[in-house]
Amino acid sequence: MFRAILIEKAPSGAESVRLTELTDAQLPEGDVTVRVSHSTLNFKDALAITGKAPVVRAFPIVPGIDFAGMVEHSTHSDFRVGDAVIGNGFGIGEKKWGGLAEKARVTAECLVHLPDGLSARDAMAIGTAGFTAMLSVQALERHDVTPDKGPVLVTGANGGVGSFALSLLSALGYRVIASTGRRSESDYLKRLGATEVIDRAELSEPGRPLGKERWAGVIDSVGSHTLANACASTMHGGSVTACGLAQGIDLPATVAPFILRGVNLLGIETSLRPRAERVAAWQRLATMAKSTWFDEIARDIALADVIPQAAELLAGRVRGRLVVNIHGVR
């Protein structure tokens, strides 16, 4: 028997979620079985657990879009018993059983080996949020958004993606503007590398098709009016990465920034990245890792804390990252 968060759907359509015990026989099919030591609670996980959005596409399901642990059984040549691995992407926690459990069974495409220098807990402190932030930074680099071009805006700066984006950009020499709805957290954001903190109210309401040119690049995890206004104030030839929808899935924008200033809007998709790209991103994260990522951005909760913390996360009362220590908070 092993413990797991399980989401079920009744014939009436009502969803329920509970911490329960399952057997190995209930695990789905897959190449690799992993004894999970750490997972995370992400925004998408919180939506699934609370039922606030139709994230889950197959029931019953164990949520959790990422996890880290040790290979317990494998029929795939790339992974052997005892290998330390990270799992994320390819529908984990949405269409496939995820990591908020003591065991996970997945197809090998979902896994990469844990990079040297990172523990399982470190990897989940980074998690899909840090992975997404790194992919966003790499996208800006590919589109020639260099530190000398101007500042970079990070929206949703107190969240997981935003926190890592601030830290990564600052380490790479960028001047970073952090947008947040919690100005009381300004000191925290500046410790991560923000040189300026602005109130999210500047961006979250309907705005003009074009605004004053303020930043060369943007990493946006908010969407909706925030993304539209971020694009409207991006400098000529700049680039904006879109990797989240905390404010909404809509984009109430015009084409003006794109055809009058040549702004690039870059979608950041994390789930189906080829393994080579995933490995490269994780290795670069391991190389750039800082103690603040593990001690200040992330804090530990127990598996039993996941369900109540999901509501807190959606309410915007969680700073940084929640690492789920499957076997007890350190």
Please tell me the distance from the alpha carbon of residue 243 to that of residue 191, in angstroms, as a whole number: 23
Contact 95, 63 (CB under 8 A): no
In a domain, 284, yes or no: no
Please tell me the distance from the alpha carbon of residue 22 to that of residue 19, in angstroms, as a whole number: 10
Based on the fold, state whether residues 72 and 138 are members of the same structural domain.
no
CA 247 vs. chain centroid, Å, equals 15
In a domain, 122, yes or no: no
* Consecutive H or E run containing 43: helix 43-50
Contact 313, 321 (CB under 8 A): no
Please tell me the distance from the alpha carbon of residue 328 to that of residue 3, in angstroms, as a whole number: 12
In a domain, 182, yes or no: yes
Q: What are phi and psi of 294, to 5 degrees?
A: -90, -25
- What's the CATH code of the domain at 183? 3.40.50.720
Based on the fold, state whether residues 26 and 84 are members of the same structural domain.
yes
Residue 62's domain spans which residues? 2-114+290-325
Based on the fold, state whether residues 142 and 229 are members of the same structural domain.
yes
In a domain, 119, yes or no: no
Q: What is the pLDDT along the chain (330 residues), one digit of tens a residue?
A: 999 999 999 999 889 999 999 999 999 999 999 999 999 999 899 999 999 888 898 999 999 999 999 999 999 999 999 999 999 999 999 999 999 999 999 999 999 999 999 999 999 999 999 999 999 999 999 999 999 999 999 999 988 899 999 999 999 999 999 999 888 889 999 999 999 999 999 999 999 999 999 999 999 999 999 999 999 999 999 999 999 998 999 999 999 999 999 999 999 999 999 999 999 999 999 999 988 888 888 899 999 999 999 999 998 888 888 999 998 765
Please tell me the distance from the alpha carbon of residue 170 to that of residue 166, in angstroms, as a whole number: 6
What are the structure tokens assigned to 49, written together?
Answer: 């657990």
Based on the fold, state whether residues 211 and 316 are members of the same structural domain.
no
Please tell me the distance from the alpha carbon of residue 317 to that of residue 324, in angstroms, as a whole number: 17
Please tell me the distance from the alpha carbon of residue 107 to that of residue 42, in angstroms, as a whole number: 21
Q: Where do the DSSP E strands lie in the chain? A: 2-9, 15-22, 32-40, 66-74, 84-88, 103-106, 111-113, 152-154, 176-180, 194-199, 215-220, 234-242, 264-267, 298-302, 321-325
- How many domains does the chain fold into? 2
Got the DSSP string for 155-190?
A: SSTTSHHHHHHHHHHHHTT--EEEEES-GGGHHHHH
Whole-angstrom Cα Rg for the chain = 20
